[in-house]
Amino acid sequence: MIPDRLKSVYRAGVIAVVLPAVALLVAYLSGSFLLIDYVHVLLGAIWTGVDVFYGLIFYFVISSLDAKTRASIAERLIPMSLFFIPSVSILTPLAGYILAVEEKIWNPYTPVFSAAIIIGSILVAVGFLTIVPASALVLKEMKSAGGNVERSSRMLMLGSHGALLQLVLQIAMISVMAYIVVYL
């Protein structure tokens, strides 16, 4: 039996995974290059915005809070950080790959595409190695009676550091993509 306070986490988590996936699937099945481009840019912009908020702005706010308040905030961030970030970190590059293939510019043997692949791989790995485990541990604490406030607080800070690193990598990736679009 799922505790009531976790039901809303899972409900929001399902929406955070399904909505972006359905958007990309509909765009792909429609055959509309413009719609795929729109989904790619929109998901990437939302992902970058989440990382700006979670990794940059939010970090400075939560650094000044006590552990109990941070743990409470961490519980509310779980749907976004445990479900949405992994979903969008897979779907955004997938949409980008589809676009590059459709435009017939995909060439993994050029230095620019190699850079995009390397940056993109590190970008996705950072999320799966910092944000997702930190969020999963907070969810585990939420399931246990009482939960460990200190651990949840530390995990929130780890997730925030991961989001900040993702933000830096996203800026690098956006720069590479802009180069590809303009010069290739």
Q: Which two tokens stand for residue 140?
A: 């585990």
* 78: its two tokens: 């779980």
Region of residue 147 (phi > 0: left; psi between -120 and 50: alpha; otherwise: beta)? left
The 10 Å CB-count burial string (b at 16+, else e) for 77-95 is: bbbbbbbbbbbbbbbbbbb
- Full-model pTM: 0.88
Round to whole Å and give the CA distance between 69 and 84. Answer: 23
Single out the residue of 133, 113, 118 nearest to residue 179, CA to CA. Answer: 113
Per-residue pLDDT of the chain (184 residues; tens, 9 = 90+): 667 777 888 888 899 999 999 999 999 999 999 999 999 999 999 999 999 999 988 888 888 999 889 888 888 888 778 899 999 999 999 999 999 999 898 888 999 999 999 999 999 999 999 999 998 888 888 888 777 888 888 888 999 999 999 999 999 999 999 998 898 7
